[in-house]
Structure 1
Amino acid sequence: MDPATAAADVALSDRGEQLFDLFRRPQGRSRPRPDERSVMERARTSELTVNGEVAVVHRWGDGERPVLLIHGWESRASRYAKAVDRLLELGFSPVVFDAPGHGEATGETATMLDYLDIITELHRVHGEFEAIVAHSFGATATFVALQEGVRARRVVAISAVPDFAYLVDAFTVGLNLEPHLDAEVRGRLERQVYPGEADMWSRFSVFRGSGNVTVPLLVIHDEDDTMVDVGQGRRIAEAFGDRARLVVTRRLGHQRILGAPQVVQEIADFVTAGEGVRERKAEVAAR
């Protein structure tokens, strides 16, 4: 190999490493908002060690009728404060956590396996959940967990990332990167983060074995979401057929959607619905 080619390969490797680091580390750690603090201060807080890092678990209620709420990438447990308050009013026992690299947890990053380990342990402690409410990356982890033994009576998927491949593609397209850099990020994930996975791209997907997930599903997605296109919400709802109901909101984007009053009410109505929840699929424009 001539020196110029070798130098180009080194530059590519360095660029790939920088992009990989950018992809796998949350960019900043969000803080609790003023209107979230009073709810979080009432929580019973504990720690859960996962792969050498400490996740922080927050619980409310008497432990009966547990509802697990799972945050997404670059988010935190406190973003569910309004939903927690409403669920408490309805007699549920909300459980939320800060994953490694997020909120009050230790560490600089989290993997899908970290999320799965936390969800599995909380399921072991609480048993079947009345519902799981999950946002973005957390929604992907939820469907993987359901495929692998976690039980919930119903599921709410908000701004859901459909699969891990979508994450990588959206990242590289968003930065207007060349296709070979997309391939390099994928390769580094396979080698450095998930080396024991036979096929992480099929395992870490909402759609894997969708026919086996038979619980009622509420899919909520905003038409102005610039992180995960609303088309992905429609795609997920279609994959689950008459088990799913789709709610499309407006002007809430990817993050503000969690605290929006209409979304909190949709969650409350869904988790308290009777067994006849299998309504026809519909799109509701929340204004």
Structure 2
Amino acid sequence: MEPATGAADAALSDKGEQLFDLFRRPQGRSRPRPDERAAMESARTSELTVNGKVAVVYRWGTGERPVLLVHGWESRASRYAKAVARLLELGFSPVSFDAPGHGEATGDTTTLVEYVEIIARLHREHGTFEAIVAHSFGATATFVALQQAVCARRVVAISTVPDFSYLVDAFAVGLSLEPPLAAEVRGRLERQVYPAETDMWSRFSVFHGSEAVRIPLLFIHDEDDTMVDAGQGRRIAEFFGDRARLVLTRRFGHLRILGAPQVVAEIADFVSCDTTVQKSGTEVAAR
């Protein structure tokens, strides 16, 4: 190997390691907002250990008619506080968790596989969920969990990340990475985080195994989402055909959408609806 080539390879590896570390670690740990504290203080809490890290589980209600709430990357269960209050009023029993590296959980990072494991274990404990409500990366994990025998009567997916590849591509575009650096990040994910997943780029997707997802689906996406383009929401809803309904909002972006009153109302109406969802095109829920 020529010295210059070796030095270039070493520099690529070092930079790739830095970017890989940036990609896989949540940047900062968000705290509960003042209007979320009452709901979180009223929850019954427990712990669930996955890969040596402790996730914190929150439960409300009697345990009947459980609804699982799954947060996204760099988020936490408390972001569902308004939805928790409304679901309790309707007689549901919300269940949520802080994934490792998030909220009150331990660890400084987590993986999609750990998300899926937590969802699966809560499913074994609670049985079929009346619904799963999931946001962003949590929505991706939810669809992977549905591929693995987790059962729910319906799903609300908000600001959905379509697949794991989208996350890496968006990361590369956001940092203007040259193709070799983007490939280095992908390679490290394959070797160091998901070595047992030979088909991760196809399987970690809302589209994989979709024929088994025969339940009603509600997709909610904001037109002003700068993290996951609203076109992805349209694409996913169209893919699922008459199983899905798409609601588009405005001015909530990627993060504020969970607490928006219109979105909470959409969640509550859909979760408590007993009829099969019919395709109704695009609705604008808020302007």
Q: Secondary structure at the match of 2:252?
A: coil
1:6 aligned partner: 6
Q: CA deviation at 1:5?
A: 1.7
2:5, 2:240 → 1: CA distance?
A: 50
TM-score (structure 2 length as normaliser):
0.99
For residues 119-138 of structure 1, the aligned pairs below 5 Å read 119-138=119-138
Q: CA deviation at 1:283?
A: 2.6
1:240 aligned partner: 240
1:71 aligned partner: 71
Question: Which segment is superposed worse, 274-283 or 217-226?
Answer: 274-283
8 Å CA contact 2:245–2:277 kept in 1: the answer is no
1:151, 1:202 → 2: CA distance?
A: 21
For residues 192-231 of structure 1, the aligned pairs below 5 Å read 192-231=192-231
Q: CA deviation at 1:279?
A: 4.2
1:16 aligned partner: 16
Q: Secondary structure at the match of 1:167?
A: helix
TM-score (structure 1 length as normaliser):
0.99
2:91, 2:231 → 1: CA distance?
A: 34
Question: Which segment is superposed worse, 170-179 or 269-278?
Answer: 269-278
8 Å CA contact 1:101–1:110 kept in 2: the answer is yes
1:213, 1:259 → 2: CA distance?
A: 27
Q: Deviations over 1:22-51 (max 9, x none)?
A: 000000000000000011000000000001
2:181, 2:113 → 1: CA distance?
A: 24
2:142 aligned partner: 142
Q: Deviations over 1:179-215 (max 9, x none)?
A: 1111111111000000011210111000002121000
Identity %: 80
Q: Secondary structure at the match of 2:282?
A: coil
Judged with a 3 Å threshold, the aligned counterparts in structure 2 of structure 1 residues 276 and 200 are, in CA distance, closer, same or farther, namely closer
1:158, 1:106 → 2: CA distance?
A: 25
For residues 81-96 of structure 1, the aligned pairs below 5 Å read 81-96=81-96
8 Å CA contact 2:130–2:153 kept in 1: the answer is yes
Question: Which segment is superposed worse, 269-278 or 119-128?
Answer: 269-278
2:138, 2:226 → 1: CA distance?
A: 17
1:42 aligned partner: 42
1:122, 1:68 → 2: CA distance?
A: 9
2:234, 2:283 → 1: CA distance?
A: 9
Unaligned runs of at least 5 residues, structure 2: none
Q: Deviations over 1:207-227 (max 9, x none)?
A: 002121000000000011010
Question: Which segment is superposed worse, 205-214 or 73-82?
Answer: 205-214
State how many pairs are aligned: 287
Q: Secondary structure at the match of 2:207?
A: coil
Q: Secondary structure at the match of 2:188?
A: helix
8 Å CA contact 2:263–2:285 kept in 1: the answer is no
1:284, 1:17 → 2: CA distance?
A: 42
Q: Deviations over 1:226-272 (max 9, x none)?
A: 10000110111011001100001000000000000000000000001
**Aligned partner of 1:219: which letter?**
F
1:167 matched to 2:167? The reply is yes
**Aligned partner of 1:46: which letter?**
S
1:159, 1:180 → 2: CA distance?
A: 29
8 Å CA contact 1:244–1:281 kept in 2: the answer is no
1:6, 1:279 → 2: CA distance?
A: 57
Q: CA deviation at 1:9?
A: 1.1
2:276, 2:27 → 1: CA distance?
A: 42
8 Å CA contact 2:216–2:276 kept in 1: the answer is no
Question: Which segment is superposed worse, 251-260 or 269-278?
Answer: 269-278
Q: CA deviation at 1:285?
A: 4.3
8 Å CA contact 1:211–1:240 kept in 2: the answer is no
Question: Which segment is superposed worse, 273-282 or 248-257?
Answer: 273-282
Runs of 4+ in 1 over 6 A off after TM superposition: none
Q: Secondary structure at the match of 1:156?
A: strand
CA RMSD of aligned residues (A): 0.8
